[in-house]
Structure 1
Amino acid sequence: MDIKAYCLSLPMATLDYPFGETPMVIKVNNKMFALISNAGDVSLKCEPLQALAYRDMFEAVIPGYHLNKQHWNTIKPNLDIDDEMLKRMVRESYKAVVNTFPKKDRAYYLNLLF
């Protein structure tokens, strides 16, 4: 799966390089929801309890690399994560960011997603 293409297929998602050439940062409304390394690892925002559950369920999921470990996971997609689960995690990350927007903006973005 092309993780970059999938992230950018979400409503209003944009690509940015705020830290230099790497990592690629995917944002919605100028807020990060995915970071993609040159190695293909992807860091995604996650609700804290779900982040812990994913770490227990999958060898591929570790605490966010250079990120808040409570709210971010880093996924090595070539291990035990299939494409559908990775897509689910990307959508959850997108929603976690959108849920921090003001109520009127939140409804707009979530309506675009569904």
Structure 2
Amino acid sequence: MNIEELRDYCLAKPNTQEDTPFGPEHLLFKLAGKVYLLVGLDQIDELRFNVKCDPEYAVELREKYEHSVIPGYHMNKKHWNTVYANRQLNDEELYKMIDHSYDLIFNALPKSQKEKLKNGEI
């Protein structure tokens, strides 16, 4: 996976917004204003990104992929993982982690906001 493929995948997810609030070197992907993925735009040789993760699942992934998944760099380490894309993980596994992060945000939204997103009102 490269950064363009990562970006395309995130933007294909429903209601995703792309943002650069920390300057042009960091790209965030959000759902309903909440970040589900953060990536540095200077990463050409070694792509890594941060994704939100259920705390128990985060530990499981870190143990299973110790060379590719670490506690979130500059993030809440209980809820975020930094994932090195092209080490132990194939694209399918990376997509699952992105989906998990997106789903955590969506599932935490109030029911009314979920309905508005589904109906394209937001």
Q: Percent identity?
A: 36
Matches within 5 A, 1:38-57: 38-39=42-43, 40-57=47-64
TM-score calculated relative to the size of structure 1 = 0.90
Taking the aligned partners of 1:74 and 1:83, their CA distance within structure 2 comes to: 15
**Cα offset for 1:15?**
0.7
Aligned residues: 112
27 and 95 in structure 1: CA distance in 2 versus 1, 3 angstrom threshold: same
- In our comparison, the structure showing a higher alpha carbon Rg is 2
Please say if residues 98 and 110 of structure 1, whose CA atoms lie closer than 8 Å, have aligned partners that are also in contact. no
**Pairwise mapping of residues 1-114 of structure 1 onto structure 2 (< 5 A)?**
1=1, 2-37=5-40, 38-39=42-43, 40-58=47-65, 59-106=67-114
| Structure 2 gaps, min length 5 | none
RMSD over aligned Cα, in angstroms? 1.8
- In 2, Cα distance between equivalents of 1:83 and 1:3: 10
How many Å separate the matches in 1 of 2:19 and 2:85?
Answer: 21
- Cα distance change, pair 71–25 in 1 and its aligned pair in 2 (3 A): same
